[in-house]
Structure 1
Amino acid sequence: MSWLVSLLVLSALIFFHELGHYAMARFFGVYIEIFSIGFGKKIASFRMFNTEWRIAMIPLGGYVKMKGQDDSDPTVKSYDKDSYNSKTPLQRILILFAGPAANFVLAFFLYIFIGLGSPAILSPVIGKISPNSPAFIAGLESNDTITAIDGKSITTWEEMSDIISHNKGESLDLKVKRADKILHISLTPKITKTKSMFNEDIYKPMIGVGSAGVTHKLDLTPGEVIKYAADQTAFASTMIFKSVEKLIMGDVPAKEMGGVISIMKITSDATAQGWMAVLFFAALISVNLGVLNILPIPALDGGHIMFNLYEMVTRRAPSEAMLVRLTIAGWVILFSLMGLGLYNDINRLIG
């Protein structure tokens, strides 16, 4: 059942991505020949709005086939009034960007649903304390709750961590709740070696405490829900952009890259934790699809956007020979990345 939910979630995210392309293309009067979820041999299809809607055998993506556009043969073009090629470069860019944009918008609304459901968040309750750390020396204890730092109220572990990590070597006044007592403890964070979310060695101010894993529900007002959704969407987007950058630069090893199996497994595992976890990972994967599709790889939306930007700047379209070479190179890169992700996924599954 959990794998079925995973497949439905992934298909829904792909559907919204392609729906973005479809809606913008129809807005500019482009005829859509096929709207497909999946690649390869079609399993089922029907016609509606003068378009063939398909479900295909390989659920690794989807596509909208517009009149005059064929990724398998970029030399095949049509300049009829209702074709993709008859539109201006700016209109084509908007059609191409609408897919990734739909993923970002979908993620935003998913985070709104999460915010309305009072998501759980880490409380500023101290767990393990490192020996000889500023917290240990100052007398902090496990199960202490930090309620304020320098007079600023603290309700989440993230707020506490953010204040400490931006400290400039100054002493902090911690308001601490210990059982039924309220204490004030002063300490100065120490620059400490730790690991980033990308498993890199970094140095930042720390006090030497770990979370006790205690959570509480966020009770958000309508305005706070919208801000929560916007912040989460922006954070997820930034994190994925940084992940891609570090993967390209070699800061993150290629073996960390995952593919569709990883996506399915994570979503499947989330299903066991409840629908809130499913929505969270669906939002994250939706942002992931949006970011990856605007990368300047010729086989992806970003590559086609790059071609149209070239046409806007130079006032002439790329040559057919260049389009063919770059498109082939793009497909090679794309299939290589998919193959690497699949290889890593299989290695993780077999241990």
Structure 2
Amino acid sequence: MTLAIQIVQFVLIISILVILHELGHFLPAKYFKTKVEKFYLFFDVKFSLFKKKIGDTEYGIGWLPLGGYVKIAGMIDESMDTEQMKQEPQPWEFRSKPAWQRLIIMTGGVIVNFLLAWVIYTAMLASNGDTYIPSDSLKYGIVVDSIGEQLGLKTGDQILRVDDKKTRKFNEAVLDIILGDEVTVKRDGQEITVPLSDEGKETVFATQGKNFLGYRSKAIIAKVQPESVAEQAGLLPGDEIIGVNGVDTKFWDEFRSKIGASANQKLDISVLRNGTTEHLELTVPEEGIIGIELDLTDLRVTDNYSFLEAIPAGYNRTIQVLTDQIRQFKVIFNTKTGAYKQVKGPIGIVELMPEKWNWIFFWNFMAMFSVWLAFLNILPIPALDGGHVMFLLYEIISGRKPSEKVLETGQIIGFVILMGLMAVVFGNDIWNIIKKFL
């Protein structure tokens, strides 16, 4: 059932994004009186799941969920309909329209993707505010595992700057560290600059960055799961765990490590409750989970926005997401980091979906992915929107149209590049699944 929920979330997000992106091409094409022959969600290779012709346009749903398309008359696209191009140009065809109209049609999908992200971020900031943990005011510093230590960090460090730039939010600092060259921390009262090695990043990417860097906090309980070991021992929300078996345990990471190493053992837990220290006994189960959740209210802050304030804030969030995605290419194309091995396709992305329906995740992911689609589509690769834009800009600047032969060749080259990239992405997905069973 959980897999079904993950798949439904992913398919719904992709479907909305594809439909809106293609509408970005479809609406200006219709406005400029250009004939649109097909409007498809997903690709209809050989056959379609559904199709219906309304006016000049066939609307349908394909069976291959790797995107979608609109087929515009008189345009060399992925359909490679060269027979149509041999006929005399007609007034309703794409090739008959002025270059500036064709440019608007081709950039429409990218513009819609960008605007969609901006609208989503604006709405979420206006309704929920922005809750985060400030990276520059962590009371107890960071906590790292062996992978974080390989990067040169130590538990208790306070992050001051990454690449000489201050980062306001902790989650942004984590991304900056992955993408950066050096980090400046405060350690034992001294400022230290730590170079971030490619070898350390390779380990981070190989483990998909799980738990390599976190924030230190006191072990204050927010919630106790019903019928759990913790409830049976008498632990209550609001309790602060301060010791285990007589040894001071100030922080959550220390307590978690002790629990993880004490399967089937009886422990004496010291807790601070209403100003009084109490001792409780519990036996740690085999799986090392006792059933408590951490209280982070002393670390989190929330910035609230009115609707008018949320508009520029939503725009800034969209630009920040776009900037971060562009920066990731620096790491992906650095073979020493091995980041290219972790690029995910549809199978890998489904695994990122929450196992329970989560609307906040849903909209955040849609906005992020919408920016990602805008960025990918505007790349100057033939067969993508950016490839068509590249040829149109050449035409506008030079005053000469590229020949149809050039456009056809470019389309074929772009298609080969895209198929190669898809092969790498799907190969990563399949290999990551195989590794789980090795």
Q: Given the two structures, how large is their TM-score scaled by the length of structure 1?
A: 0.75
Identity %: 30
Q: 1:348 — aligned with what?
A: 432
Q: 2:307 — aligned with what?
A: 222
Q: 1:93 — aligned with what?
A: 103
The answer as to whether partners of 1:6 and 1:265 remain within 8 angstroms in 2 is no
**Long gaps (5+) in structure 1:** 131-140, 147-153, 173-185, 202-208
Q: How many residues align?
A: 306
CA offsets per residue over residues 165-216 of structure 1, 9 Å max, x none? 9xxx9xx9xxxxxxxxxxxxx95532123479x9389xxxxxxx95237334
Find 1:295's aligned residue among 379, 396, 401.
379
Q: 1:65 — aligned with what?
A: 71
Q: Match of 1:60, SS?
A: strand
Q: 1:122 — aligned with what?
A: 133
Residues 1:193 and 2:184 are matched in the alignment: no
Q: Mark the CA change 1:155 to 1:318 in structure 2 (over 3 Å): closer, same or farther.
A: closer
Deviation at 1:47, TM superposition (A): 3.5
Q: Of the two, which has the highest radius of gyration?
A: 2
**Counterparts of residues 1-351 of structure 1 (less than 5 Å):** 1-40=5-44, 41-48=47-54, 50-71=56-77, 72-73=79-80, 75=82, 76-77=84-85, 79-115=89-125, 116-123=127-134, 124-125=137-138, 126-128=140-142, 157=170, 189-194=191-196, 199=201, 211-212=215-216, 214=296, 215-248=300-333, 250=335, 253=338, 254-266=340-352, 268-269=353-354, 272=356, 274-351=358-435
CA offsets per residue over residues 27-62 of structure 1, 9 Å max, x none? 211111111000022111234464221111111010
Q: Match of 1:329, SS?
A: helix
Q: Mark the CA change 1:224 to 1:159 in structure 2 (over 3 Å): closer, same or farther.
A: farther
The answer as to whether partners of 1:74 and 1:320 remain within 8 angstroms in 2 is no
RMSD: 3.5
How many angstroms apart in 1 are the aligned matches of 2:36 and 2:315?
Answer: 32
How many angstroms apart in 2 are the aligned matches of 1:252 and 1:99?
Answer: 33
Q: Which amino acid aligns with 1:118?
A: G
Q: Mark the CA change 1:56 to 1:91 in structure 2 (over 3 Å): closer, same or farther.
A: same
Q: Given the two structures, how large is their TM-score scaled by the length of structure 2?
A: 0.61
How many angstroms apart in 1 are the aligned matches of 2:319 and 2:22?
Answer: 22
The answer as to whether partners of 2:6 and 2:350 remain within 8 angstroms in 1 is no
Q: Mark the CA change 1:188 to 1:3 in structure 2 (over 3 Å): closer, same or farther.
A: same
Q: Which amino acid aligns with 2:195?
A: K
Q: Match of 1:299, SS?
A: coil
Deviation at 1:17, TM superposition (A): 0.6
CA offsets per residue over residues 67-115 of structure 1, 9 Å max, x none? 1124232644362111111112222111111111111111111112221
CA offsets per residue over residues 311-331 of structure 1, 9 Å max, x none? 222322222332222211111
